[in-house]
């Protein structure tokens, strides 16, 4: 694939970095110079070769480091992975979806061989070869959702559908932007979205739920979400707040380029075939401010978005206190020139 997996950390010495290739393919989430919540969903179809949209589940240079970080989080706090008993079938659906996708899209790294229900899964980067019986959990070292999401970048939640609603009833959540699976598990769509400002009044969640209840198998959709994170910390959970909350007060004009990160979530939604549940992979991409400004269009645009963002959104996303410093630093890279529509850097 023309790249190697980085040996890097998302904690302590924070050696995480993006190569020039990773910067050029970063999923910059702003297609215009301003931002407000909307029902921003589009079909999750294969995109430009080399982009994060090329494959159903993007595997990039951070793969192995992210999987090591996930294992550390789970060791400290096993409740980051939970599945209510009736969600096991959805877990198998997810395992099948990911194994088939990765084996199809990255055949040099992943293989899946099936003889009836006897399956062999090979994950070369992680040096795993596992033969198991599909739908028999006693043949895997973990439950099916945990097994496959310990080998797949991004957080995952599984939603059961009943009573014209979605219920978050399983998940692997170790790289989240300040929300807790342990707190949300068992909630309905509007309940778990309760803390989000402005979107309820705008009808965003009513429309999004209506759309999702009709989501069809084989026609996944995607959307972006974004926030800001000091240092490349994947695990910005409420459980861990004492570790990362105070770092917000350490941002200065001198260190902001290196320490402030834009955090982008590429979220996809998949109807699962046997369980009728919805899988919600939340893939997190981090980029330092000084990496963003290597792309002049993104630098101009990020300056304008941060400067003009509704204060309730800046507060909810947790960067109101640093907004002024961000705007001042980013303004050096904004000459006022118009930006082209769309998020691609070269447009
Ligand atoms: C079924 C899949 C989904 C799950 C499990 C999910 C989960 C969540 C969670 C846990 C939060 C954080 C809430 C908090 O502060 O505690 C959130 C935020 C949010 N969600 Fe969803 N969500 C889903 C689908 C959607 C869809 C389809 C939309 C489309 C409009 C959406 C829009 C938002 C928005 C706008 C936010 C605020 C994010 C921010 O500003 O950082 N969500 N979601």
The Cα–Cα gap between 78 and 175 comes to: 14
Domain annotation covers residue 159: yes
pLDDT attached to residue 346: 66
162-176 burial, b if ≥16 CB within 10 A, otherwise e?
A: eeebbbbbbbbbbbb
Checking if the pLDDT of 2 tops 90, the result is: no
Best residue for ligand 1 mutational test, from 196, 197, 205, 266 (most atoms within 8 Å of Cβ) = 196
DSSP conformational letter for 177: B
Residue 273 lies in a domain: yes
Q: Which atom of ligand 1 is nearest to the CA of 171?
A: 5
Per residue in 37-74, pLDDT (tens digit) is: 999 999 999 999 999 999 999 999 999 999 999 999 99
Distance separating alpha carbons of residues 163 and 188, to the nearest angstrom: 10
Catalytic member of 21, 68, 223, 323: 223
Q: Which atom of ligand 1 is nearest to the CA of 204?
A: 30
**What pLDDT score was predicted for residue 3?**
87
Within a domain: residue 86? yes
Which of residues 141 and 346 earns the better pLDDT score? 141
Domain count, the chain: 1
Alpha carbon of 169 to ligand 1 centroid (Å): 15
Computed over every residue of the chain, the mean pLDDT equals 97
Residue closest by Cα to atom 15 of ligand 1: 195
Query: Are the beta carbons of 312 and 295 closer than 8 angstroms?
Result: no
The per-residue DSSP string of 59-71 comes to --TTHHHHHHHHH
Asked, for residue 43, whether it belongs to a domain, the answer is: yes
In a domain, 301, yes or no: yes
Which residue segment(s) compose the domain that 121 sits in?
Answer: 20-331
Look at residue 1 and tell me whether its pLDDT is greater than 60.
Answer: no
C-alpha 146/C-alpha 237 separation (Å) is 19
Which residue carries 């991409």 as its tokens?
285
Closest CA to 63 of 1, 119, 113: 1
Ligand 1 pocket test, pick from 90, 190, 193, 265 with the greatest ligand atom count within 8 Å of Cβ, gives 193
- Does residue 347 have a pLDDT over 60? no
Q: Is residue 1 part of a domain?
A: no
> Catalytic annotation on 304?
no
Residue 30 covered by a domain: yes
Name residues contacting ligand 1 (CB within 6 A).
37, 39, 157, 159, 166, 168, 179, 184, 192-193, 195-196, 199, 204, 208, 212, 223, 225, 227, 278, 280, 316-317
Could you read off the pLDDT of 202-232 as tens digits, one per residue? 999 999 999 999 999 999 999 999 999 999 9
> 77 in a domain, yes or no?
yes
Task: Find all residues with CB under 8 Å of 161, minimum gap 6, and list them.
Answer: 167, 213, 276, 277, 278
Please, are residues 248 and 322 in contact by the beta-carbon 8 Å criterion?
yes
């Amino acid at each position: 694939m023309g790249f190697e997996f980085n040996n890097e950390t998302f904690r302590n010495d924070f050696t995480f970095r993006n190569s020039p290739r990773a910067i050029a393919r970063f999923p910059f989430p702003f297609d215009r110079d301003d931002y407000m919540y909307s029902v921003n969903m589009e079909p999750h179809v294969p995109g430009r070769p080399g982009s994060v949209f090329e494959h159903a589940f993007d595997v990039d240079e951070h793969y192995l480091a992210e999987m090591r970080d996930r294992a550390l989080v789970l060791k400290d706090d096993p409740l980051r992975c939970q599945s209510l008993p009736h969600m096991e079938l959805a877990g198998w659906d997810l395992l099948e979806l990911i194994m088939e996708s990765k084996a199809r899209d990255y055949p040099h790294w992943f293989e899946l061989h099936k003889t009836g229900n006897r399956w062999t899964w090979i994950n070369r980067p992680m040096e795993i070869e596992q033969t198991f019986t599909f739908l028999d959990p006693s043949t895997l070292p973990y439950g099916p959702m945990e097994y496959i999401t310990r080998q797949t970048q991004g957080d995952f939640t599984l939603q059961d559908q009943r009573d014209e609603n979605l219920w978050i009833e399983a998940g692997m959540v170790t790289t989240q932007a300040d929300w807790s699976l342990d707190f949300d598990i068992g909630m309905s769509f509007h309940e778990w979205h309760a803390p989000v400002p402005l979107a309820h009044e705008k009808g965003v969640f009513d429309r999004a739920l209506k759309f999702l209840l009709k989501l069809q198998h084989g026609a996944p959709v995607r959307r972006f979400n974004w926030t800001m994170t000091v240092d490349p910390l994947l695990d910005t959970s409420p459980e861990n707040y004492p570790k990362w909350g105070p770092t917000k007060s350490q941002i200065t004009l001198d260190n902001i380029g290196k320490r402030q990160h834009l955090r982008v979530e590429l979220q996809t939604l998949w109807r699962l075939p046997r369980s009728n549940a919805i899988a919600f992979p939340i893939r997190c991409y981090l980029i330092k401010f000084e990496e963003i400004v290597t792309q002049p269009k993104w630098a101009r645009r990020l300056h304008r978005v941060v400067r003009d963002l509704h204060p309730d959104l800046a507060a909810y996303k947790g960067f109101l206190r640093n907004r002024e410093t961000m705007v001042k630093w980013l303004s050096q890279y904004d000459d006022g020139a118009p930006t082209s529509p769309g998020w691609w850097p070269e447009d």
